[in-house]
Amino acid sequence: MATHSALEQERHRCEVRWCIQKGMTWFEGYIKGVAEKRGKEAAQRLWADVRDQWAKGNRGKPGEWAEGN
């Protein structure tokens, strides 16, 4: 059975991929809602990971997560 932190990590990665798929215009509105509902730190983490994954070539395919530099 997966731990809570492993489940949260997978949920976060799914959200990052979903945001990448939706595109930047959509994401700009979505991230504001995240900040309002889940807090500034959650929004900053999501923003950083979306930007990082995009830079590493992740385009939101199911199960994709780019590791390393």
Gap between the Cα atoms of 26 and 30, Å rounded:
6
The per-residue DSSP string of 1-65 comes to: ---HHHHHHHHHHHHHHHHHHH-HHHHHHHHHHHHHHH-HHHHHHHHHHHHHHHHTT----TT--
pLDDT single digits (tens) 8-64: 999 999 999 999 999 999 999 999 999 999 999 999 999 999 999 999 999 999 999
Gap between the Cα atoms of 43 and 67, Å rounded:
21
Q: Is the pLDDT of residue 65 over 90?
A: yes
Gap between the Cα atoms of 32 and 3, Å rounded:
29
For the whole model, what pTM was predicted?
0.89
